[in-house]
Chain A
Amino acid sequence: MKFDVIIIGGGLAGMTAATALQTSGMRCAVVAEGLSLHNASRREFCAAGGTLLAGDRVVSGRFAGDRLVAVRTEKLGDIELEAENFVLATGKYFSRGLVADMDRVYEPLFGLDVDYDEDRSTWFDPSFAAPQKFLEFGVKSPGGLAVKDGAVIANLYPAGEVLAGLSSAQGDATAAIVKSATDAANAIGRK
């Protein structure tokens, strides 16, 4: 199956980008585990003809050169979903867009480069109410594109809280999340 854009994650960032791209005439698919998929945005996206793979999740990706070519999902098994461009909107730790183990923070789907502090003692402030550094961690995105092993992936756009420096857990970040998703959609639209 081939799409113009595959959006991974159905939260605020994912649905914002998906709806913008679908209504601009592109053929989009959203793979969303479902927890934060809002009914209103789901209706709008589907009404515009988008493909929604609800309750499914991406498990791996196939790369060729500097591009992500296709992804596989849990339910579709070895049927690949191909696309020209991809938006990664998987969120932070709670939604497993980022995973932390004892020694590192990583992006579990594609192994993208993550901005984080290797010194664990800096992750938390002893005061619960103070800003917490671990919430600043996220994937790198120079020029809006993801990076893997130091090389830019030319068609993978991270958006929302999976990005370094963007978290709604320390205060309202709705505007910044929507902007990051709109930026990703605009960059894809300009191509």
Chain B
Amino acid sequence: MPVKNEFDVIVIGGGITGAGTARDCAMRGLRVLLIERQDIATGATGRNHGLLHSGARYAVKDSESAEECIRENKILRRIAANCVEDTGGLFITLPEDADSGFGLDYQATFLEACNRAGIEARAISPREAIEMEPSVNPSLIGAVVVPDGSVDPFRLCSANVTDAVLHGAKVLVYTEFLDFIREGDTILGVKVLDTRSGETAEYRAPVTVNAAGIWGHGVAEKAGVHIGMYPAKGALLVFGHRVNNVVINRCRKSADGDILVPGDSVTVIGTTSTKVPFEECDHMEVTPDEVRLLLREGCALCPALASTRILRAYAGVRPLVADDSDPTGRSISRGIVCLDHETRDGVKGFVSITGGKLMTYRLMAELATDAVCRKLGVHKSCTTAETPLPGSMNGRIESVSKRFEGKPTAGQKGAAGRQGDMVTKIHFETEADRQLVCECENVTLAEIKYAVKELGVRNLEDLRRRTRVGMGTCQGTLCIRRAAKALAEALGQPELADKLAADYLDERWKGMRAVGWGDTLREMEFMQRVYKYEKPYSYDEI
């Protein structure tokens, strides 16, 4: 009996690379299935700075990456306007940098390399730098302005998934890849597990794309091919308010903790880089040494951090790839790696897309989709660089906000900022719909209902990734029971509320434990008090 393929391509991994690939494939008319073992953006996609690189950081050492970055930077500003904030960036030189060979001579080299890569960079005086960003270390001796920005990776990933679905893709979250369906040297599809129902299923397609980030190592092994991956853990700290409005980098050879990025209501410092065993990738904990290092370096960029409350710590794993030609695995590239396993390993119907970074996800998706199209004999060219994502189709927040009758409320403005032009699908009909559930981030009941209906939200972590609920200064302390109740009711399962809240608190607690001293510990005591003073997690008395 001939095999009937329901799909043309199966994409494994719901991070930004998989989401981008699913979108690109769907836009080229392919029938796409995207599978993700947890929620979208749960791996490295949601665990980075959220920096919209200008590429300046790579200009001196890796001009190819630098050129890729600035090209994609300009594209993202166009197609993902609602996910990007044009903060601008500074590369500062401190007096101690001069002692280690990264003084103003290096700044000149840096400027030249930036301009060669097509990155608009110009040197300004320390005084001008302080005027541009008052929180910057005032002892700086030089600064360069570059077109850095910040990007909301959750929103970006969600927009790609939404657009893939609008173009006919099927997306299955909480669906874990178990194994390949294989016949001889050909991959015919995948066996998956629905982690919520416990049921297994099989899906077939002539091509499968491995876009599973660091977990792609294990996916490839199941196909009998080896990718020399190098799991590089990066730890980051989130601070309790937006300390800086401009991205601050250190103008020296890339090192730990030398980028400070403002994003929404907070500031993030990162990152470290440590090789970790594959087994640890699912259970990242930030160590005290990493926190110490990040704090020390962060304070060098911006002294006010020393007295700013740390909200939480988190870590992600970069899916770096060792050069195929280097058997020691020491030559690590941050570049994009697109592998056609038929030509490389003799395995048909299988492509891996890995390496790269958040900034270059669209290009990665383009390369992977090109490879898929070659295999399928499809001749359609990529249009993702010109086509705006949902949420970013009708300009920026200001124009979206004008769609509300009268003066938009804080919740409506917040929703417009997060959901962009999709905000028209949010129904602020009743007084209750307009009520704020999360006051730190201005999330309304209406937006929660929308996220459940349109964005596939199942738990509070999913909701946080779509709406920033509980991500602000109180870390959910004051809103999470309300949010849990609202979400459980929107899901039609009011009995779930206690469980949703408990799971969410454990996750927040994890991020706070790593930085549990000072004002963070005060917040932790307060949080314990709020939830445990009477009976823990009971709605009976509300």
A positions within 8 Å CB-CB of B: 92-94, 96, 99-102, 120, 123-124, 126-129, 132, 134-135, 168-172
Cα of A133 to Cα of B524 in the assembled complex, Å: 12
A–B pairs, 24, beta carbons within 8 Å:
A92-B525, A93-B524, A94-B525, A94-B526, A99-B518, A100-B521, A101-B517, A124-B509, A124-B524, A126-B513, A127-B506, A128-B508, A128-B509, A128-B527, A132-B524, A132-B528, A134-B516, A134-B524, A169-B525, A169-B529, A171-B532, A171-B533, A172-B533, A172-B534
Contact A102-B517, Cβ < 8 Å, known A129-B537, A169-B532, A171-B533: yes
Most buried by A among B521, B529, B533, B536: B521
- The residues in B between 291 and 333 inclusive whose CB is less than 8 angstroms from any CB of A are 291-292
B471 at the interface (CB under 8 A from A): no
Cα of A102 to Cα of B288 in the assembled complex, Å: 8
- Enumerate chain B residues within 8 angstroms of A127, measured Cβ to Cβ: 506, 509
B531 at the interface (CB under 8 A from A): yes
Cα of A102 to Cα of B296 in the assembled complex, Å: 13
- Enumerate chain A residues within 8 angstroms of B509, measured Cβ to Cβ: 124, 126-128
B522 at the interface (CB under 8 A from A): yes
- Enumerate chain B residues within 8 angstroms of A134, measured Cβ to Cβ: 516, 521, 524-525
A94 smallest CB distance to B (angstroms): 5
B510 at the interface (CB under 8 A from A): yes
Contact A170-B532, Cβ < 8 Å, known A128-B502, A134-B516: yes
A-contact bits for B483-516, CB 8 A (1 contact / 0 none): 0000000000000000000100110111001001
A-B contact sample (12 more), CB < 8 A, given A101-B518, A120-B288: A93-B522, A93-B524, A93-B525, A100-B517, A100-B518, A126-B513, A135-B525, A168-B533, A169-B526, A169-B532, A170-B528, A171-B533
Cα of A92 to Cα of B510 in the assembled complex, Å: 22
Most buried by A among B291, B518, B527, B529: B529
Cα of A37 to Cα of B424 in the assembled complex, Å: 48
Cα of A12 to Cα of B521 in the assembled complex, Å: 22
- Enumerate chain B residues within 8 angstroms of A120, measured Cβ to Cβ: 288, 516
B527 to A, closest residue via Cβ: A128
- The residues in B between 204 and 242 inclusive whose CB is less than 8 angstroms from any CB of A are none
B32 smallest CB distance to A (angstroms): 38
B532 to A, closest residue via Cβ: A170
- Enumerate chain A residues within 8 angstroms of B528, measured Cβ to Cβ: 128, 132, 135, 169-170
- The residue that A124 contacts in the complex, of B516, B522, B532, with Cβ under 8 A, is B516
Which secondary structure dominates where chain B touches chain A?
helix
- Enumerate chain A residues within 8 angstroms of B510, measured Cβ to Cβ: 126
A-contact bits for B56-72, CB 8 A (1 contact / 0 none): 00000000000000000
Taking a contact as CB atoms under 8 Å apart, the answer to whether B517 and A124 are in contact is no
B66 smallest CB distance to A (angstroms): 37
Pairs A-B, 9 closest by C-beta atoms: A169-B529, A128-B505, A169-B528, A128-B509, A100-B517, A124-B513, A93-B525, A93-B522, A100-B521
Taking a contact as CB atoms under 8 Å apart, the answer to whether A129 and B525 are in contact is no
- Enumerate chain B residues within 8 angstroms of A123, measured Cβ to Cβ: 513, 516
- Enumerate chain B residues within 8 angstroms of A168, measured Cβ to Cβ: 529, 533
Taking a contact as CB atoms under 8 Å apart, the answer to whether B529 and A129 are in contact is no
B459 smallest CB distance to A (angstroms): 15
B483 smallest CB distance to A (angstroms): 15
Most buried by B among A93, A96, A126, A128: A128
Cα of A111 to Cα of B292 in the assembled complex, Å: 25
A131 smallest CB distance to B (angstroms): 9
B288 smallest CB distance to A (angstroms): 7
A58 smallest CB distance to B (angstroms): 19
Cα of A126 to Cα of B522 in the assembled complex, Å: 17
- The residues in B between 242 and 285 inclusive whose CB is less than 8 angstroms from any CB of A are none
- Enumerate chain B residues within 8 angstroms of A172, measured Cβ to Cβ: 533-534
- Enumerate chain A residues within 8 angstroms of B505, measured Cβ to Cβ: 128-129
Taking a contact as CB atoms under 8 Å apart, the answer to whether B506 and A128 are in contact is yes
- The residue that A94 contacts in the complex, of B292, B506, B518, B522, with Cβ under 8 A, is B522
